[in-house]
Each structure stands twice: as C-alpha cells, then as structure tokens.
Chains A and B, each alone.
Chain A
Amino acid sequence: EDKVVQSPLSLVVHEGDTVTLNCSYEVTNFRSLLWYKQEKKAPTFLFMLTSSGIEKKSGRLSSILDKKELSSILNITATQTGDSAIYLCAVVLNSGYSTLTFGKGTMLLVSP
C-alpha cells in the first residue's frame, strides 16, 4: 500500500524561527512530490519536486527531494504569523490517471 508520512504532525515556533518539515514516502512508481499550504480553505500549491533533486525556492520557502532517502523537506526561514497553516505533502504516481496520495499534514503555528 502506498504511504506518505509527514513529521512532525504539529509544531509551534516563534516568529523569526526557521522550521523544517519532513515528508517521507513508500510508493510504487513514483513520479513527483507536491507541497501544499492549507489555511481555512483549499490547499494552495507551493512546490513540485522530482527525482532530479533540484531545490525549489520561493522567497523564504525552499524544498528539496532526496531520492535515496525517499523523502523531502520543506524549509521556512524567518517565519511569520502568516505562515501558520497546515502543510500537506502529496505524491503523484506514474500511473495512467496520476492521482495524489496525501500525507496527514503538519500543522504549523507561528506565535508572535
């Protein structure tokens, strides 16, 4: 059975801290890994990562995939209260319809 595991499940930090969120996967026929940020609405897309190992960056957020370790990390530097959200990791399989398999998410709370 395909599995996506995120850790930690929840995290509380102070503004300005740097956080690292983890996502590991055990799937057959991996294609890509997606990170989403979810506040009180639908998930919004952050990054797509493939086995190429290329790091993706957007402002204070960055992410990279380690194909040997079958895992990915999402880094957020100089956190702000607006970063408080659930961060979802999802894996896309290389099958005909390529559905997403989500992890349970990491709930991040950034306190002022």
Chain B
Amino acid sequence: DAMVIQNPRYQVTQFGKPVTLSCSQTLNHNVMYWYQQKSSQAPKLLFHYYDKDFNNEADTPDNFQSRRPNTSFCFLDIRSPGLGDAAMYLCATSRDPGQGYTFGSGTRLTVV
C-alpha cells in the first residue's frame, strides 16, 4: 500500500502558468519535505514542515511556495514556472529521520 502518494505522476505546464503538486501520507508523520531533483543530480531540499512549522531553505527561490493544511497533506506551488524548473519533485516524510525517510514516487514536471 502506497504510504506517501504524489499526484500527478507527470505534469506538463506552460511557462509562467502556476502549477500545484500534491503529496499525501497515511503514516501520520510529523515532518514532510519537498525535494527538487534535476536530471543526473542529487535531490535538493526546497523546504520542509515540522508539524505546522514551515522551514525554507536559504537558496529556495521565492517562486516556490508550500502549504500544509493538515498532517496528511502538503502542497508545492510554483507561481511562475520557468524552463529551469523542469525536474522531478519528490515528497518525503519522516517521524524520526534517523530511521529513514519515506519517499513518494515523485512528480515529473515538464515546462513548455
């Protein structure tokens, strides 16, 4: 049973058109993370929520926002996608990171 679910699996959006990616979890984990992974690169943390506390990485562009309306859901909003934002976006959760994260299957974003 999928425990961290990302929708959609593939998303095509137009240059400059806002897009939202979603992540839901059935694990009741406190922490949810959004990573961006470009081709042939390691995942890069964009931000994470510890319960309702939002933590933005210093180099995450302002174009990227996130919402976590409740424990189960977390959204990634890209306000004005550029061609350089095309990537795999990974959502992950953890209760205690020392035990390993649980990743979703990712959303591959294409910007045209």
Known contacts A88-B42, A104-B42; A97/B103 CB under 8 A: no
- Which single member of A43, A48, A50 contacts B43 (CB below 8 Å)? A43
Q: Contacting A97 at CB < 8 Å: which of B31, B44, B101?
A: B31
Question: Between A and B, how many residue pairs show CB distances below 8 Å?
Answer: 55
Minimal beta-carbon separation of B1 from chain A (angstroms): 15
CA distance A61 to B101 in the complex (A): 19
Is B48's beta carbon under 8 Å from chain A? yes
**Contact residues, B27-82 vs A (CB, 8 A):** 31, 33, 40-45, 48, 50, 55
Chain B residue nearest to A104 (CB atoms) is: B42
On chain B, the number of residues with a Cβ less than 8 Å from chain A's Cβ atoms is 25
User: Nearest chain A CB to B42's CB is how many angstroms away?
Assistant: 4
In the assembled complex, which residues on chain B have CB atoms less than 8 Å from the CB atom of A48?
A: 98-100
- Residue among B48, B90, B101 making CB contact with A45, cutoff 8 Å: B101
B45 touches A99 (CB 8 A): yes
| Chain B residues closer than 8 Å to A50, beta-carbon distance | 98
Contacts of B99 on A, CB cut-off 8 Å?
48
Determine if A103 and B42 form an interchain contact, defined as CB atoms under 8 angstroms apart: yes
Quick one: which of A28-47 are within 8 Å of B by CB? 31-32, 34, 41-45
A34 touches B100 (CB 8 A): yes
Q: Give the complex CA separation of A32 and B31 in angstroms.
A: 17
Residue A25 at the chain B interface, CB threshold 8 Å: no
- Residue of B with least CB distance to A88: B42
Q: From the candidates A32, A41, A97, A107, name the one contacting B55 in the complex (CB within 8 A).
A: A97
**Which residues on A sit within 8 Å (CB–CB) of B92?**
42
Interface residues of A (CB under 8 A from B): 31-32, 34, 41-45, 48, 50, 88, 92, 96-100, 102-105, 107
